[in-house]
Amino acid sequence: MEFFGDGAHVRLRNRMHGAYLHADEDGAHVSLSPRRASLNTAWRVHRAAYDDPEQGDVLWEAVRVGDEAGDDVLMLHASNRLLRAAPWNPVLRPPVYVDMDNAGTMMHWVVDPIPLRKAPPVLPGPTELPRGVVLRRTIIYMRANNEGKFDPLDRRTYAFSGRSLFHLTGDLANQLRENFRRITLCVRAGSQGRLTPLVIDLPADEQPMEIVVFTSGSQGESLAVVSVAIAEHVICLCPHERCSVDHTDDN
């Protein structure tokens, strides 16, 4: 597991196509993208010990490729299938899925570490949906104290329209009577990821979303970013939301 340190931020580059594992806008699927400087190709590693069979969707192990001297890895799923890319399509973004058949270097991945930077990404500006498109989801939110503690049973809900993180932050600031600049919204990446601050717009779907609201700059917010769990031989790769990482460095 030397390829993935807990809390590390990485990109996974497919050896065959030279493109990156990309989290699609629907929040559920992955594909390949040639765009390196994108938050959707940045992933944060969560290492933890899982023993619940129902958590199989998050169980991955990195295995070095054969006897090769390079750093290529295979991403082995708990189902004993391997993460692979589809043949390249110049029109549509090639999907990524799991397969049992040997697909050669389409199953080989290069781990590209993402260097740290001094400040987290800036909150994106307000965005609107295309004309005629309607997206509405239920937001379930909880307020954490300055130590990062919150009562999971003390939750409120409301209907949110659109995908804009800027608008969502404004709505929650108004409902909590907080300063817009003084709150940070945290989510769990997938079903098992740790709380991580959100800095990209919401997925293009209508799935309910749970949000934990932290005070910006508080001890609790810091813990949400750097929390660590002990693990061995199991990796949970979670789509990245926010960290002090330079996602636009193409060097």
The pLDDT assigned to 163 comes to 93
249, two tokens: 């460095």
Please give the pLDDT value at position 16: 94
Tokens 């991580």 correspond to 196
Mean pLDDT split into 10-residue runs, the chain, 251 residues: 73 94 84 88 77 65 74 86 90 87 90 78 84 93 90 94 95 95 83 76 90 79 44 41 41 41
Q: Where in the sequence of the chain do the CATH 2.80.10.50 domains occur?
A: 9-118+228-239
Closest CA to 180 of 128, 215, 225, 223: 215
The pLDDT assigned to 232 comes to: 29
Which residues partner with 47 through β-bridges? none
The highest-level CATH class for domain 136-226 is: alpha beta
Per-residue model confidence (pLDDT) at position 123: 78
What is the reported pLDDT for 67? 62
What pLDDT is stored for residue 228 in this prediction? 31
- Residues contacting 197, CB < 8 A, separation 6+: 120, 184, 185, 186, 214, 221, 224, 225, 241, 242, 243
CB 116 within 8 A of CB 245: yes
Rounded CA separation 163/179 (Å): 21
Residues of the chain with CATH 3.10.20.90: 136-226
Q: Distance between CA atoms of 111 and 109, rounded to whole angstroms?
A: 6
This prediction has a pTM of 0.69
At 239 the pLDDT is 45
The highest-level CATH class for domain 9-118+228-239 is mainly beta
Predicted local distance difference test score (pLDDT) of residue 5: 76
